[in-house]
């Protein structure tokens, strides 16, 4: 891939990931990671105690709606009976909106008066979809329209602090957000601009006020929400049964200076949610309030960093990493990816302690995709190139040799040159020039291709390397670039197969074109310089030296259908060939005559008889 094309692709990818950050398209996946990375379950505060309406209490007193206000009044009186051991604040996580029993209702009001305004009682915000107009006058369907607020009955409301108990359930179904307060619509509020605190914030503000502390108010997003970090898992907060308290089984000094939350603690209330900190276990609503209160107390809250800023940061990280990674090997890239993911997570965790939330999954997704890309680029594409190279190499070396190389990986083709002992075969068509002058060009090419195919097949059959075609001649080398056992014998067998194949080809051409062709072949062996010869942009793998020149001279002197070999070849293969001496003949470029032999028969296999033509 060209550099500028790669850079353009990186920029496009970075922009796409930045848009994913802006629109938060992987919210649920990101929440899965960040809920764990940023989680700090460092223990519940012993000052927060839950008095649970549990199975034990229900078993003793029966249906909660029949005794709730009477027993709640009794509980308040019990906890505030000794002025030295009273809670700082109590929170009743119930919606007591209607009169039920006059005596019980009045008893609860009178008990609440004993607490000097230190009791918070729940309300319920009723949301109902509504068709509204935005600031530009366009109609839209508001799913968060507040249609009603279910408040405690009036007498109780007048002597308590009210806070809404609605859970902020995220779009993936988990509870990780909370609200300080909410603005009540003017048609429902007693006065213009009235707001109501959440149950947890109302309890916390009373606690801070009674202890002379300035209440912490976390920053919120456009929906007036903030993300809180859990301190404890399900059942981890101190919980005592309502029945146990009323029966004096719990000493009253256990509640001294504490925050007491009274709420549903049995499955039958159907008041449980999925906490972001513990996805395997549901958590009762009162426990979630306890976690939110502790988040206020320890300032364990977060608000998201501006998404445009995060998109820019993500795009910069992606661009820098992809440009850097392309110059590195895969092991370095993978190691750097792991380090970057870990470092980013640590930075995110540190920022969460500072009250800032940054998404993590987009960087993780990018790193995974980046590694996949580099694997493809550095290995798959390289493998494709290697396969292409091997396929091209099959045009020069026997395919079975190339296939073996591709499996073993033993590729030792040296750049430059090296001295090697090789066998060289030259073959040429006798009388081809005259033949080509008497035939149409198309027929000449067809005949030549038939001839070249025969030559190539025979060379490859014996694991030779087809060095080059020179017009109507061909050159092959054996024992280069790969070591070949018995390479001189293989070269002679290739020559012998060409001679046998020529007889069949001659008959075919005689019948079809009424023309005949014969081959002259020369084979020599010895040392030669073998390697890539040429320049950077154009080179050939070939052999040069006296051994090659002698083989070429042998071929040029061979008559039609003859295979000329040197004396050295004859001596090496003396037990596997028969060759008649042609005598000492002068060879061009040689000061002395060379003893030359013409092969008459070859043992094609040690177990077979000699074959004569």
User: What confidence score (pLDDT) does residue 154 get?
Assistant: 94
- Rounded to an integer, the average pLDDT of 503-525 is 82
**Band (608; pLDDT cuts 50, 70, 90):** very low
User: What is d(CA 401, CA 425) in angstroms, rounded to the nearest whole number?
Assistant: 18
Greater confidence (147 vs 398) lies with 147
Strand 89-95 to strand 119-127: parallel, antiparallel, or no bridges (unpaired)? parallel
Is residue 609 very low, low, confident or very high in pLDDT (cuts 50, 70, 90)? very low
pLDDT of 516-562, one tens digit each?
778 899 999 999 999 877 776 666 778 999 999 999 999 999 999 99
Res 588: pLDDT: 74
Report pLDDT for 472. Answer: 85
Give the pLDDT confidence score for residue 257 in this predicted structure: 96
Binned at pLDDT 50, 70 and 90, residue 144 comes out as confident
The predicted pLDDT at position 406 comes to 60
| Domain parsing of the chain, residue ranges | 3-22+305-389, 41-123+153-299, 400-612
Confidence tier at 399 by pLDDT (50, 70, 90): low
- Overall average pLDDT of the 320-329 stretch: 92
Q: Is the dihedral of CA 514, 515, 518, 519 positive or negative?
A: negative
Average pLDDT over the chain reads 89
The CA-to-CA distance between both ends of the chain, in Å, stands at 56
The residue among 286, 317, 310, 349 whose CA lies nearest residue 38 is 349
Query: Is the link from the previous residue into 481 a cis peptide, with omega within 30 of 0?
Result: yes
Token pair for 217: 């108010």
> DSSP of 55-101, one letter per residue?
HHHHHHH--HHHHHHHHHHHHHHHHTSSGGG--SEEEEEEE--S---
Confidence at residue 533, expressed as pLDDT on a 0 to 100 scale:
77
Most confident of 122-136, 238-252, 455-469: 238-252
Quote the pLDDT of residue 607. Answer: 44
Distances (CA, A) of 205 to 45, 88, 98, 297, 514: 17, 11, 26, 10, 112
Range of lowest pLDDT (19-33, 185-199, 353-367, 596-610): 596-610
More reliable by pLDDT, 611 or 59:
59
pLDDT at position 396, please? 56
Percent of the chain with pLDDT over 90: 67
Whether the pLDDT of residue 136 is over 60: the answer is yes
Q: Nearest CA to 530 among 548, 539, 538, 542?
A: 542
What's the pLDDT band for 505 if we cut at 50, 70, 90?
confident
Superfamily of domain 400-612: Nucleotide cyclase, GGDEF domain (3.30.70.1230)
pLDDT in tens, 438-474: 778 888 888 888 888 999 999 999 989 888 888 889 9
């Amino acid at each position: 891939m060209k550099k500028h094309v790669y850079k353009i692709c990186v920029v496009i990818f970075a922009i796409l990931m930045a848009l994913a950050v802006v629109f938060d398209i992987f919210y649920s996946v990101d929440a899965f990671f960040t809920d764990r990375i940023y989680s700090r379950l460092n223990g519940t505060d012993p000052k927060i105690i839950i008095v649970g309406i549990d199975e034990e209490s229900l078993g003793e007193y029966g249906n909660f709606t029949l005794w709730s206000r009477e027993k709640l009044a009794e509980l308040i009186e019990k906890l505030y009976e000794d002025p030295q051991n009273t809670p700082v604040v109590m929170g009743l996580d119930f919606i007591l909106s209607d009169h039920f029993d006059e005596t019980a209702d009045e008893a609860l009001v009178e008990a609440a008066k004993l607490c000097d305004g230190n009791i918070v009682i729940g309300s319920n915000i009723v949301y109902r979809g509504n068709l509204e107009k935005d600031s530009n006058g366009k109609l839209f369907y508001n799913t968060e329209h507040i249609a009603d607020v279910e408040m405690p009955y009036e007498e109780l409301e007048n002597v308590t602090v009210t806070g809404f108990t609605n859970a902020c359930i995220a779009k993936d179904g988990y509870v990780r957000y909370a609200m300080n307060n909410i603005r009540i619509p003017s048609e429902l509020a007693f006065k213009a601009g009235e707001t109501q605190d959440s149950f947890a914030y109302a309890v916390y503000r009373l606690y801070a006020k009674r202890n002379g502390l300035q209440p912490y108010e976390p920053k919120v997003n456009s929906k007036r929400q903030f993300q809180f970090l859990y301190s404890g898992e399900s059942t981890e907060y101190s919980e005592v049964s309502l029945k146990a308290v009323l029966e004096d089984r719990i000493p009253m000094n256990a509640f001294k200076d504490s925050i007491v939350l009274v709420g549903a603690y049995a499955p039958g209330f159907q008041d449980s949610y999925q906490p972001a900190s513990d996805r395997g276990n549901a958590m009762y609503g009162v426990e979630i309030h306890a976690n939110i209160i502790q988040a206020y107390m320890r300032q364990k809250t977060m608000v998201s960093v501006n998404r445009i800023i995060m998109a820019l940061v993500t795009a910069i990280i992606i661009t820098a990493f992809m440009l850097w990674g392309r110059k590195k090997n895969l092991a370095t890239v993978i190691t750097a990816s792991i380090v970057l993911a870990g470092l980013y997570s640590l930075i995110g965790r540190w920022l969460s302690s500072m009250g800032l939330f940054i998404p993590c999954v987009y960087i993780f997704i990018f790193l995974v995709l980046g590694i996949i890309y580099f694997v493809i680029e550095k290995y798959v594409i390289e493998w494709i190139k290697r396969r292409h190279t091997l396929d091209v190499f099959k045009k020069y070396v026997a395919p079975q040799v190339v296939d073996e190389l591709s499996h073993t990986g033993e590729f030792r083709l040296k750049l430059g040159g090296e001295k090697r002992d090789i066998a060289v075969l030259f073959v040429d068509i006798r009388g081809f020039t005259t033949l080509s002058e008497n035939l149409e060009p198309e027929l000449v090419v067809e005949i030549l291709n038939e001839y070249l195919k025969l030559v190539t097949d025979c060379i490859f059959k014996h694991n030779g390397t087809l060095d080059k075609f020179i017009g109507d001649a061909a050159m092959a080398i054996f024992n280069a670039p790969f070591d070949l056992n018995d390479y001189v014998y293989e070269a002679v067998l290739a020559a012998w197969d060409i001679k046998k194949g020529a007889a069949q080809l001659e008959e075919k051409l005689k019948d079809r074109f009424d023309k005949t062709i014969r081959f002259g072949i020369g084979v020599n062996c010895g040392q030669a310089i073998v390697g890539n010869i040429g320049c950077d942009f154009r080179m050939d793998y070939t052999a040069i030296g006296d051994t090659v020149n002698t083989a070429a001279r042998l071929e040029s002197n061979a008559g039609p259908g003859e295979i000329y070999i040197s004396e050295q070849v004859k001596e090496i293969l003396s037990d596997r060939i028969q060759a008649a001496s042609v005598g000492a003949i002068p060879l061009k470029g040689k000061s002395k005559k060379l003893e030359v032999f013409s092969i008459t028969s070859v043992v094609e296999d040690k177990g077979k008889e000699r074959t004569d033509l």
